[in-house]
Structure 1
Amino acid sequence: MAGNGQTGDAMAGNGQTGDEKYPMRIKERVFKGILMWQCEAEEFETMETREDDIWICTFPRSGTTMTQELVYLIQTLDFERADNTELDTRVLFLDCKDDRFPFYKGKKAIDEMKSPRLIKSHLHHFLLPEQLQNGKGRIIYMFRNPKDVVISLFKLFAWTRQLDEGENMFGRFFDSFVEGTAYACPWPKHVLGYWERKDDGHVLLLRYEDVIKDMPAAIRRIAKFLGRTLTDENVANIADHCNIVNMRNNDKVNLSYWKNIGYVNFEENESQFINKGHPGTWHEKLSPEQAAKMDKLIREVEDAGLQIVQT
């Protein structure tokens, strides 16, 4: 499944189909060379966007959830709703349509949203709606050291039962990430697609490590981009709400509300939706050889002028 170039329908080594053993496994597809979840990708190019749209775009596991919560509160200052309504309801996910899940309703649900819409996507920039690419709507893009990303993404897919079983699961997933065949890959292409639009007035790029280091400064930067005026108290309250520890314990963002759906493996204690959140956790998992392979990916983006912070 995700990360090994297979379709997700076969479970490695046990002769069962993914649907038999893990009935809530999300199906995959390839569109224009990119592995993604099942969705209406063919319709995205001509999708109508709105001038006041706010799109939170990331390569997965690059601070997506934190960015969504930050943007939601900066835009609305509605802490009461944030404390009582699941994030998946407040910010809809475009690039997955699976009616078995309450939050993956695809394009139609987003078309029906009231303005201003907050929309999440892991799509490459070239797969976004043409109107959005041309400036009808705003994009906030978060990027992160891929050495931390690959570990976090592996943990997520293991936690949500999206990986084929068998020996060396992480090694197989890692290789597919480096080779550019894993979900949403190639990572350099994803990041550079947005980096190349950094001077567009409707695109804001954020570095995950910078946000973690100084969240109040990031909040003010996002607020300026969105045309929002915040008090120092507003900034402090948002920063406290979006602190990693508080996010991990927040049942409206930590995916605990998926427990009764059967999608998440709550018996797996090592993995959870929101992990440590601290840059540099890759040191605990990657071998020197694996780190060297990731360095090659990093050099691809740094050659284009984008600095990746490594700790």
Structure 2
Amino acid sequence: MTKSRGLNRYVKKVSIPFLYSNPIGKFLLTEEVANIWTHFKDPYKNNELVKRAKDVLEDIKDPLRRYYISTIPQAKFYKGLLLQGYMISPMFLSNLEDLTIHSADVFLVSYPRSGTTWTEEVLSCIISDADPAYLSIDLHERVVHLEVGAPFRHESIVETLDSPRLLATHLPFQYCPKQLRNLKCKVILVLRNPKDQLVSYYHFHETAGFLGGKRHPWNKFFECYLQGHLVYGSWFDHTKTWWEEAKKHPDKILVITYEEMQTDLAKMVKIIGEFLGKPVKEETLPKIINHCSFSTMKRNKAVNRSEVPVKGLFDNQSKSFMRSGRIGDWMSHFSPGQVEIFDEIYEEKMAGTGLTLTFTAEETSRVMAEKGRVINQFVDCKPNAEEKENL
């Protein structure tokens, strides 16, 4: 961790455009260039796993997909999955399948804008017993993202983290390292109702420089979302692949929802602690609840991305990284027609999964009061239409 913190201090005033566009920045810092002059090879040459989007864009016929991809700076494809371009190492991705996972590791899995940062902070509190010194370290150094990281030597940063390593990924199940797919460690899967997640992702595209920092037309973004054209692909596919694994392996994967945490954070903190084999002490619980409240998180510079290791990652002047956080924000964005379209597609794609999510604060409170949890990983699922045909 010391090495990565030193690097972060070094590049604190370096901008994303300098790193990825200026020849000097590319020569000095980017892993892509470092690999060329260290190993004397182009990381994309004869690489069937990782492709530059610009190299395959002409093969993409869907105009809506072409539009979206063209707005993501230096976008990449990993095994056909669209990823951002900045802070992604093609060499690291090429070796991702064989990454070593330790049994003590804790993985946080989520689709973007599902409560990832919030859950990362909760995990940090549980693992450290809410140690103030540990929590003062920048969050991106405490919880390292698997596929996104420093412009070079990301693999060494991941490998040298203190145990237990807290790691996070937005990758769908089938794109994760083999040992993670084999569930060598424990996994926390955090879900958020897709209507609110869509709205949050929409606003995030305007804030995040690595997603283009562009305000997309709402109707266009809505269609991109439903068709799975966004970075990290379809929410439906991502959620279903991980959910199916979670139902089969509840001892290895704990599923929680953003809405559950908003409604009863204390309860969810206890559940997470028990799952990780690190029960939260009664005297520590109030500290965690206070530290992880939305208002505190929004002010916390170690968490809110107001200070990041590279300039240009986030535009915190126009919008806050942590925006509103409320359940049901989708109701102020969706038109009645869009609600109808979304509900129809949601029912079609999620039929037979047994996954039940809540879409308003009132619904969440009612379900938790009646059943204790929104999520039931032991649900007895009925086959969908396609599965019935194959029986």
TMscore range, shorter length: 0.7 to 0.9
SS at match of 1:232: coil
Question: How far did 1:10 drift?
Answer: 5.1
Matches within 5 A, 1:89-238: 89-97=141-149, 99=151, 106-161=154-209, 162-163=211-212, 169-198=217-246, 199-200=248-249, 201-238=251-288
Kept in 1, the 8 Å contact 2:98–2:178? The answer is yes
Change (3 A) 1:45 1:260: closer
Which structure carries more helix by proportion?
2
Kept in 2, the 8 Å contact 1:70–1:238? The answer is yes
Structure 2 distance, partners of 1:301, 1:118, is: 30
Change (3 A) 1:89 1:276: same
Q: What is aligned with 1:50?
A: 102
1:218-258 deviation per Cα after TM superposition (whole angstroms, max 9, x unaligned):
01110011101222221221111111111111111000003
Structure 2 distance, partners of 1:187, 1:260, is: 28
Counterpart code for 2:285: V
RMSD: 2.3
* TM-score after normalising by structure 1: 0.85
Question: How far did 1:298 drift?
Answer: 2.8
* TM-score after normalising by structure 2: 0.69
Counterpart code for 1:174: F
Question: How far did 1:171 drift?
Answer: 2.2
Structure 2 distance, partners of 1:186, 1:251, is: 31
Residue 310 of structure 1, aligned match among 355, 359, 368: 359
Matches within 5 A, 1:39-78: 39=89, 40-78=92-130
Counterpart code for 2:172: H
Question: How far did 1:8 drift?
Answer: 7.6
Residue 32 of structure 1, aligned match among 79, 91, 94: 79
1:9-64 deviation per Cα after TM superposition (whole angstroms, max 9, x unaligned):
856xxxxxxxxxxxxx7532122332112343332221110000001110000000
Structure 2 distance, partners of 1:70, 1:185, is: 27
Counterpart code for 1:301: M
SS at match of 2:98: coil
Structure 2 distance, partners of 1:83, 1:229, is: 19
Counterpart code for 1:27: Q
Q: Does 77-86 or 176-185 show the bigger shift? A: 77-86
Change (3 A) 1:288 1:265: same
Kept in 2, the 8 Å contact 1:139–1:203? The answer is yes
Counterpart code for 2:242: Y
Question: How far did 1:276 drift?
Answer: 1.4
Question: How far did 1:195 drift?
Answer: 0.8
Q: What is aligned with 1:274?
A: 322
Kept in 2, the 8 Å contact 1:59–1:184? The answer is yes
Question: How far did 1:293 drift?
Answer: 2.9
List gaps (5 residues or longer) in structure 2: 1-52, 54-63, 361-391
Kept in 2, the 8 Å contact 1:178–1:293? The answer is no
Q: Does 118-127 or 231-240 show the bigger shift? A: 231-240
SS at match of 1:45: helix
Kept in 1, the 8 Å contact 2:259–2:358? The answer is yes
Structure 2 distance, partners of 1:230, 1:242, is: 14
Structure 2 distance, partners of 1:58, 1:33, is: 19
Kept in 1, the 8 Å contact 2:129–2:280? The answer is no
Change (3 A) 1:5 1:111: farther
1:52-91 deviation per Cα after TM superposition (whole angstroms, max 9, x unaligned):
0001110000000111001111111143135421101111
1:75-120 deviation per Cα after TM superposition (whole angstroms, max 9, x unaligned):
1114313542110111111112451xxxx86333212222110001
Change (3 A) 1:41 1:291: farther
Change (3 A) 1:165 1:260: closer
With CA pairs under 8 Å and 6+ residues apart, which has the higher RCO, 1 or 2?
1
List gaps (5 residues or longer) in structure 1: 12-24
1:164-186 deviation per Cα after TM superposition (whole angstroms, max 9, x unaligned):
758x5222222111101101121
1:189-244 deviation per Cα after TM superposition (whole angstroms, max 9, x unaligned):
10111111123121111011111111111011100111012222212211111111
Counterpart code for 1:84: S
Change (3 A) 1:67 1:297: farther
SS at match of 1:61: coil
Q: Does 28-37 or 293-302 show the bigger shift? A: 293-302
Greater Cα radius of gyration, structure 1 or 2: 2
SS at match of 1:139: strand
User: How many residues align structurally?
Assistant: 289
Counterpart code for 1:35: L
Give percent identity, aligned residues only. 25
Kept in 2, the 8 Å contact 1:92–1:120? The answer is yes
